[in-house]
Amino acid sequence: MKPLIIALALVLAAPLPAYAHPRTPRDLRQLAHQHGIKIGSAVDLAALRGEADYRKVLNREFSHVTAENAMKWESVEPERGVYTWADADALVENARRNNQRVRGHTLVWHNQLPAWLTTGVEDGSIDAAELRKILRDHITTQVRRYKGKIRAWDVVNEVVNDDGTMRQSIWLTHLGPGYIADAFRWAHRADPHAKLYINDYNLEWNASKIETTLSIVKDLQAQGAPIHGIGFQGHLGIQYDYPGDWANVMRRFADLGLEVAVTELDVRMELPVTPEKLATQADYYRRALTDCLGVRACREFTVWGFTDRHSWVPGWFPGQGAACLFDENLVPKPAYQALLGVKKA
Ligand code: G3I
């Protein structure tokens, strides 16, 4: 009799499989758990340090985090060989204490580079051989520091133009296209367990960019360079159509054996906010999560900031904003409810 009771207790105690969860999850963490993915947010470190309500919502809702700016080159190595890790460390420590996985953003980019580097390249005091050594040392130092603490790195960010050509940057100009494979190899050597990604925007719909990025991936794979994932930033706007073929684009990369992630989702609108615009925004968020859940390789769904209080959009798109799941008072918007209502296909 006793073994039967124990068996019964075990069955009752076991969590119901994801598909058996009829009820709406209480928050995004539970939603993520139900669907077997990670739902994340970019984090503003000043807000994390200084705003208790921001911290509370971040740690309640999100099982994955990305540093919005704190892990970028200009933030961690403002002077050559002088590293300032405090903000990046604070994000990683907060994630450890709150059971969040971390995406490292970003090792190689054409933006937010420190002046000592861009000036040195411009005035020729840093030549190609030295630039390559500087890049290798930077990647090795940063990836090794967070070894075992970063689930995935955006190794290279935004390397393709919207017309499908390769983006001109100090890296391409002075090191040639091989810098991309080198960056993946150096990152892998520094942390063999981190998933290494190529990350870009407009990949959700831009055919030229999709084709070029697919060929970069195939080329890296042919060279044996350790690429593991593709990041779709997902900076959308309700004034534009929803990228209706996004799931198929995800599948084309998944068919190459890659993990897929939505890495920087937000859905901006022309201000002022209206109930109709919020409803369209909610629909775009719902469709983006549904697309991700429809692709088995899509493991992470990250928004680029969760509150309109801290969003890059108004600063970059004058007259636009309200792009996030929570308003500036951290009140959930219809988009938040729409996500909670997403059922597995
Ligand atoms: O740190 C300085 C501060 O010292 C100074 O007082 C202040 C005033 O100008 O500027 C601060 O730097 C700002 C930085 O964010 C940190 O807040 C820069 O001006 C500002 O341009 C920078 O914006 C970031 C932007 O990347 C830069 O390209 C946004 O916060 C960030 O959301 C955005 O994120 C990018 C992703 O990395 C890649 N994909 C697109 C995405 C949106 O552009």
Mean pLDDT, all residues of the chain: 95
pLDDT value at residue 211: 98
HSE (side-chain half, CA atoms, 13 Å) at 166: 14
Is residue 11 predicted with pLDDT exceeding 70? no
Collapsed DSSP state (helix, strand, coil) of residue 199 = strand
CA-closest candidate to residue 213, choices 264, 288, 112, 221 = 221
Q: How many CB atoms lie within 10 A of CB 82?
A: 10
pTM: 0.94
8 A C-beta contact, residue 71 and residue 109: no
High-pLDDT (> 90) share of the chain, %:
92
Q: How many CB atoms lie within 10 A of CB 260?
A: 25
Choice among 61, 68, 77, 158 that is catalytic: 158
Which ligand 1 atom sits closest to the C-alpha of 201?
Answer: 39
CA 48/CA 56 separation, integer angstroms: 9
Which residue, judged by its Cα, is nearest atom 14 of ligand 1? 69
Q: Is 158 a catalytic residue?
A: yes
pLDDT tens-place string over residues 256-290: 999 999 999 999 999 999 999 999 999 999 999 99
Is residue 152 predicted with pLDDT exceeding 70? yes
| Neighbouring residues of 291: CB distance < 8 A, sequence distance ≥ 6 | 246, 247, 250, 298
Of 43, 44, 68, which is best to mutate to test ligand 1, by the most ligand atoms within 8 angstroms of its C-beta? 68
DSSP lists the bridge partners of residue 301 as 39, 262
CA 205/CA 203 separation, integer angstroms: 5
Q: Spell out which residues line ligand 1, taking CB within 6 angstroms.
A: 68-69, 111-112, 157, 201, 233, 264, 312
Residue 196 burial by CB count (10 A; 0-12/13-18/19+): exposed, middle or buried? buried
**Rounded (10°) angle between helices 207-222 and 179-190:** 60
Of 66, 91, 107, 112, which is best to mutate to test ligand 1, by the most ligand atoms within 8 angstroms of its C-beta? 112
CA 24/CA 303 separation, integer angstroms: 20
- Residue 197 Cα to ligand 1 middle (Å): 21
pLDDT tens-place string over residues 99-118: 999 999 999 999 999 999 99
- Assign residue 234 a region (left: φ > 0; alpha: ψ between -120 and 50; beta: otherwise): left
Share of the chain residues as helix, strand and coil, in percent rounded to the nearest 5: 45, 20, 35
8 A C-beta contact, residue 286 and residue 278: no
| Pick from 59-63, 331-335, 341-345: least confident | 341-345
Q: Is 264 a catalytic residue?
A: yes
For the chain, give the longest Cα–Cα distance: 83
In the chain, beta strands by DSSP E: 38-43, 64-67, 101-108, 152-157, 195-200, 229-232, 235-237, 259-270, 298-303, 320-321
